[in-house]
Structure 1
Amino acid sequence: MQVEARPRLLGLEFGRFLAALLVCCFHFSIAFENLRHDRVFDFAFRAGHAGVDYFFVLSGFIIYWVHSSDIGRPSAAAGFAARRILRIYPLYLAIFAAMLLAFTVAPSLRGPREFSFWNGILDALLLPLPGDGVVPQAWSLHHEMVFYALFALMVLNVRVGIVALAAWQALSLVIGAMHPYDLAPAIKPFFYIYNLGFGIGVACAWAVTRISLPKPGLVAGLAGLGFIAAMAAEWYIGRDVPENLLPLGGIASPLIYMGCAALLILSVSQIEFRKPLPFGRLMAVLGGSSYCIYLIHAPLGSVLIRLFGVGPLAELPNRAVFVAMVAITIAVSIGTHLLVEKPVLKWLRRPRRHPQPAEGIAA
Structure 2
Amino acid sequence: MATDAVRPKTSRLPSLSGMRFIAALPVFAFHATSGMNFLRGDVGDFFTDIFKDAGTPSVSFFFVLSGFILTWSARPRDTMPDFWRRRMIKVYPNHLLAFAATVVIMLLASDPLEAKKFFTSLFLVQSWVPELPVLTGMNPVAWSLSCEVFFYLSFPLLLPLVRRLSVRGLWALGGVLLAVPWLVALLADKAVGGTPLLPGGPLTHEQLWFVYFFPPTRIVEFVLGIVVARLVLSGAMPRIGLVPAALFAVGGFVLNAQVPYLYSLGGTAAFWVMPLVVAGATADANGTRSIMRGRVIVKLGEMSFAFYLVHTMFVVSAQRWLVQDMSDGAALATLFGCLAGSLVVSYAMFTWVEEPLVRKFGSARRLRTGPPAPPAATAAAPLTAVDAKD
Structure 1, unpaired ranges of 5+: 238-246, 353-363
Q: 1:32–1:40: 8 Å Cα contact kept in structure 2?
A: no
User: Paired residue for 1:179?
Assistant: 188
Q: Write out aligned runs for 1:117-196 (5 A).
A: 117-127=115-125, 128-131=128-131, 132=134, 133-154=137-158, 158-159=160-161, 174-179=183-188, 182-183=206-207, 185=209, 188-192=213-217, 194-196=218-220
User: Taking structure 1 as reference, are residues 172 and 268 closer, same or farther at Cα in structure 2, changes over 3 Å only?
Assistant: closer
* CA distance in 1: counterparts of 2:364 and 2:153, whole angstroms: 25
Residue 325 (structure 1) aligned to one of 327, 333, 338: 338
2:376 counterpart residue number? none
- C-alpha contact (below 8 Å) 1:213/1:270 kept by paired residues: no
- The residue that corresponds to 1:357 in the other structure is none
**How far is the alpha carbon of 1:171 from its aligned partner?**
7.8
Say which structure, 1 or 2, has more relative contact order (CA 8 Å, 6+ apart). 2
Bigger shift: 127-136 or 4-13?
4-13
Question: Which of 271, 280, 284 lines up with 1:272 in the alignment?
Answer: 284
CA distance in structure 2 between the partners assigned to 1:268 and 1:184 by the alignment: 31
Deviation of 1:350 after TM superposition, in Å, equals 7.2
- Equivalent of residue 299 in structure 1, options 307, 310, 313: 313
- Root-mean-square deviation over aligned CA pairs: 3.6
- What code does the residue aligned with 1:8 have? R
Structure 2: give runs of 5+ residues left out of the alignment. Answer: 1-7, 166-172, 190-202, 366-390
Name the counterpart of 2:101.
Answer: 98
1:327 CA displacement: 3.1
SS in 2 for 1:211: coil
Deviations 1:58-105 (A, max 9, x none): 1111121122x34xx6x6111111011011111001111221122122
Picking from 66, 74, 77, the partner of 1:59 is 66
Aligned to 1:77: 80
Aligned match of 1:242: none
Tell me if 1:210 matches 2:244. Answer: no
Relative distance call for 1:207 and 1:259 in structure 2 (3 A) is same
Distance 1:149 1:255, change over 3 A: closer
Match of 2:248 among 219, 223, 226: 226
Structure of greater Rg: 1
Q: TM-score, normalised by structure 1?
A: 0.74
Q: Deviation per CA, 1:15-60, whole angstroms, max 9, x where unpaired?
A: 1111111101111012663663422546322221121111111111
Q: Distance in 2 between matches of 1:191 and 1:184?
A: 14
| Pair 1:351–1:141, CA change in 2 (3 A) | closer
1:205-251 alpha-carbon deviations (Å, 9 max, x no partner): 1111223666532xx3222112212334556x5xxxxxxxxx55533
Bigger mean CA deviation after superposition, 42-51 or 52-61: 42-51
How many equivalent residue pairs? 321
Is this contact kept in 1: 2:163–2:230, CA < 8 A?
Answer: no
Identity %: 24
Using the TM superposition, give the Cα deviation of residue 257 of structure 1 relative to its aligned residue in structure 2, in angstroms: 2.3
Partners of 2:334 and 2:35 in 1: how far apart?
12
